[in-house]
Structure 1
Amino acid sequence: MSTPRTVLVIGGGAAGNAVAVLLRRAGVAVDLIEAEDDWNATAGSGITLQGNALRVLRELGVWDRVRESGFAFGSVGITAPDGTVLHEQRDIRTGGGDLPATVGMRRPRLQRVLIDAVRASGATVRLGTRAESLEQDSDGVSVRFSDGTGGRYDLVVAADGLGSATRAAIGITDKPEPTGMAIWRVAVPRPAGVVRTDLAYGGPAYIAGYCPTSDTTLYAYVVEANRDRACLPPASYADEMRRLARAYGGFWPEITAHITDPAEVNYTWFDRMLVEGSWHRGRVVLVGDAAHCCPPTLAQGAALSLEDAWVLAQMLSGAGPWDDALLQAYYERRIARVRPVVEASVQIGQWQLDGVRDADVPGLMARTMTMLRELP
C-alpha cells in the first residue's frame, strides 16, 4: 500500500476548512493548524452566501445543515433612505436552479458547521498553533511550529487570511490596500417583515442594508467613508453605528433599537488585493483571502474562497505530480474568474466614492453574477 500524500493547511477559516475536508475525502493525510484557540467559533455577525458558495457547501456535504441554520431568499430590495421600496431585483441563481439564490447565515454558525465537517473528516487539528518557519526542497516542506514541534509535508496550503504571514514568508509581497470605505456590522433580532436583503443608498452613509440570517436573527450593516480607527474607541461602536442608522426608515428603527452593546458591533475597512503571476512558491500555495480580497459589494468573498478550495482539491486529487505546472494551472484557472469579481466589487464602491450618479451598477452586477453561474 502506498503512503498517502501529506498536506499542511494553515488557517481554519472557510477556505482552510473546505480544502481540508475535500482532501481528506480524496485520501490525503491532512494536518490543519489554526492560530486562534477557539477556531474563530464566535467571530463575526452575519454572512451572505450566494448560490456559487452554496454549491461548494453542498459538495462538502454540509448543505442540509446550512439550509436548516440560515435563511434562504431570492431577491434584493432597493429602498430610499426613508424605507420606501423603489425596486425589487430577483437574484441570479449562481449555484444552479436546484439551490436558492442566497442564504443569509450567522457567521459563527457557518464556522461551527465547517468545524464539525473537518473533525468528521479525520484531519488532525491543532489550535493555538502557528507555522514559525518553512524550509522547502524539491520533495516537500519542513515546517517548524510555534510549540517547538515540526513536521514534513508534500504540500502546504496557506489559508491564513488577509494578513497572511505565510504569503509574506514565501516572498509574495502583495498586501491588502484600503479602498476608502468602511463598514459597521451588528447581529440583532429579525423584524418579522424582513424576508430578503434591502439596501438603502444615500443618507448619511453610502449604503445601509440588512440580511436575514435565520427565522429570528439578521445582521445589519452601514457603509461609510473609512475613518481613522485610532479615533474610534471600541466603547463608542454602538453609539456610532446607531447614530448613522437612525437616519433610515422602514425596518431600521426596530433594528436600531437593538444596537446597544459595543462589543456586538464590528467596524472594518474595505480592502482590495489580487496576487498576480502565481499563487504559489515551490510547494506552498495560497487560497482564499491570502490570495485575493475585495469589498463585499457583491457578497462574493466567502464564495470565491470556497471555490478556491474546491478547485485546488480537485486538482490535487488526481494521480499526477504535485509540481509547479499543476499549481500554476490552478492559478490560471482561478485568476480568470476571481479578477473580474474583484474589479467589479471595487468599481461599485469607487462609483459611490466618486458620486457617479449614472453608473451602471445593475448592469455590472448582472454581468458578473451571470459569469459566476458557470462551474469554477
Structure 2
Amino acid sequence: MTSSVNKVLIVGGGFTGMSTAILLSKQGIEVHLVELDEKWKTDGAGITVSGPSLRAIEQIGLIDEFRRHGAICQNVDMLTADGTFLRQIVTPAVPGSSITGGGGIMRPVLAGILAEKVQQSGVHVHLGCTYETLTEQEEGIKAILTDGSEHVFDMVLAADGVFSKTREQYFEGAPVPQYTGQVVWRAVVERHGLERPALFYGSNGKLGFTPVSSTHMYLNYTEQRPQKSRIADDELLPYLQNLIAPFTAPVIEAVKAELSESSSILARPLEGMIMPRPWFKGRILLMGDAVHATTPHLASGAGMGHEDAVVIADEIASGGTVEEIFTRFENRRWPRCSMIVNNSRRLGEIEQTGGSKVEHIQVMALTMSALMAPI
C-alpha cells in the first residue's frame, strides 16, 4: 500500500502525543507537536506500569532508559495490614518482548525521557501553543496555530487529555469523564528494603507500594469518597497519615516516620470514560485519555496511550487513505481499550460496595491475561 501521510499535527505533549511523535518521525513523516504548557512540565508522583505497557515502551525504543531511571521487578507480594504474608502474584514474561514482570517510574522522569527523545527525533515542537482552527480542505486539513503559523496537514492526532478541547469542539455529543466515587493517594518514599511491589490489605482499604528507582518507591492508597471534593494542600499530609494509620507492617511504620510535606503527596479523584465509536471525524482522530480515560486499577492508563502510538504508527506504515488508517486503528484499539476501561470501573465498584473478592481476583486475572495478547 502507498501511505497518504507525510505531514501530521499532534495535539498534546503528554505521554500519548510524545510517543506518537517519536514513532512517526522514524518513518520520515514531518511531525508538528503543539503543547499548551510552555514549560512542558509533568506533575505527579510515581506510576505503576504493567508488563504489557512496558512492551509498548520497548517498541517505542525507550526500554533501556526506563530500566536506567525506573525499576522493573518480578512478582507482587500480598500481605495483611500487619505484614503477614498471604501469597505472591507471579508476573510472567510478556510475549513479543524482553519484559518479565512489571515496572514503576516517576511520572516526571518518564516525561523527561520522552521529551528528550522527541527533541532528538527532529519533531517540530510548538510550546505554549495550540490550534485556533482546524478546517478540512480537499488537499488536507488546514490548521491555524496560536503562534501565528499556518499549515496543511494530512491528519490531526488529538492527544489533548481527559478534558480534550478537540473532543468537545469537533465531536458533538461526546461523553465527558465521570467521577467514580474513589480518590487515589500517592506519595514518594524510600524503599526501606522492599524488593518488589507489595499490597497490604486492611479493614479500611488496600495500601500499595511500587518501586520507581533503585532507592525510592511510591505509595498508593485508594480512598472511597462518594462525593468529589478537594483537600487543601496543607491538609494532605495529616489526611494521608490518618488513612494509613491502621496499617502496622514494619515497612509501613518506617514510611509513616518518613512521610513529610516533601513527600510529593497527591490526591486525585478517579474519573473514567470511553467514547463510543467513531473516534475520528474526517482527518481528526482522538487518542489516549481524550477517548479512553481509565482509572488506575489495572496499571494501564498511561500504557494505553503508549499502545495507541504503536498502533497508529503501524497503521500509517501499512498505507491506505486516512479513513482506512483510522478505521483499522479503531478496529484494533476498541476491544482492548473498552475492556480496560470497563473492567477498571468494575474493580472500583467492587471495592466501594464491599463486593466479592473472588470476582475482584477473577476480573484482575482475566484482564491481565488478555493484555498479554499482541497489541
Q: TM-score, normalised by structure 1?
A: 0.93
Give runs of aligned pairs for residues 276-291 of structure 1, distance below 5 A. 276-291=276-291
Is the contact between residue 140 and residue 154 of structure 1 (CA under 8 Å) also seen in structure 2?
yes
The answer for the alignment partner of 1:175 in structure 2 is 176
The answer for the alignment partner of 2:321 in structure 1 is 321
Give runs of aligned pairs for residues 120-131 of structure 1, distance below 5 A. 120-131=120-131
The answer for the alignment partner of 2:337 in structure 1 is 338
1:45 Cα offset (Å) = 0.7
The answer for the alignment partner of 1:78 in structure 2 is 78
The answer for the alignment partner of 2:239 in structure 1 is 240
For residues 169-223 of structure 1, the C-alpha deviation after alignment (integer angstroms, 9 at most, x for no partner) is 212522111111111111122212x11211123333x321110111111110111
Identity rate, percent: 29
Distance in 1 separating the partners of 2:96 and 2:171: 39
The answer for the alignment partner of 1:354 in structure 2 is 353
1:271 Cα offset (Å) = 1.2
Distance in 1 separating the partners of 2:139 and 2:5: 14
Is the contact between residue 45 and residue 219 of structure 1 (CA under 8 Å) also seen in structure 2?
yes
1:231 Cα offset (Å) = 5.3
Distance in 1 separating the partners of 2:70 and 2:260: 24
| Code of the aligned partner of 2:121 | S
1:321 Cα offset (Å) = 2.0
Name the CA shift for 1:228/1:355 in 2 (closer, same or farther; >3 Å): closer
For residues 283-340 of structure 1, the C-alpha deviation after alignment (integer angstroms, 9 at most, x for no partner) is 1101111110111111011111111111011111233222x23212211210011111
Name the CA shift for 1:182/1:119 in 2 (closer, same or farther; >3 Å): same
Is the contact between residue 4 and residue 319 of structure 2 (CA under 8 Å) also seen in structure 1?
no
SS at match of 2:364: helix
SS at match of 2:22: helix
| Code of the aligned partner of 1:232 | I
| Code of the aligned partner of 1:81 | A
Is the contact between residue 81 and residue 248 of structure 2 (CA under 8 Å) also seen in structure 1?
yes
The unaligned stretches of length 5 or more in structure 2 are none
Is the contact between residue 239 and residue 260 of structure 1 (CA under 8 Å) also seen in structure 2?
no
The answer for the alignment partner of 1:39 in structure 2 is 40
| Code of the aligned partner of 2:221 | V
Give runs of aligned pairs for residues 154-303 of structure 1, distance below 5 A. 154-172=154-172, 173-192=174-193, 194-204=194-204, 206-226=205-225, 230=229, 232-250=231-249, 251-261=251-261, 264-303=264-303
SS at match of 1:91: coil
1:154 Cα offset (Å) = 1.1
Distance in 2 separating the partners of 1:136 and 1:335: 25
| Code of the aligned partner of 2:17 | G
For residues 60-110 of structure 1, the C-alpha deviation after alignment (integer angstroms, 9 at most, x for no partner) is 221111111111111112221222221111123345563121011111111
Distance in 1 separating the partners of 2:351 and 2:60: 37
1:132 Cα offset (Å) = 2.4
| Code of the aligned partner of 2:14 | G
| Code of the aligned partner of 2:22 | V
Q: TM-score, normalised by structure 2?
A: 0.93
Distance in 1 separating the partners of 2:124 and 2:80: 50
Moved more, 2-11 or 301-310: 2-11
Moved more, 9-18 or 85-94: 85-94
Distance in 2 separating the partners of 1:125 and 1:141: 19
SS at match of 1:257: helix
Name the CA shift for 1:73/1:264 in 2 (closer, same or farther; >3 Å): same
Is the contact between residue 186 and residue 219 of structure 1 (CA under 8 Å) also seen in structure 2?
yes
Is the contact between residue 189 and residue 255 of structure 2 (CA under 8 Å) also seen in structure 1?
yes
SS at match of 1:104: strand
The unaligned stretches of length 5 or more in structure 1 are none
| Code of the aligned partner of 1:168 | E
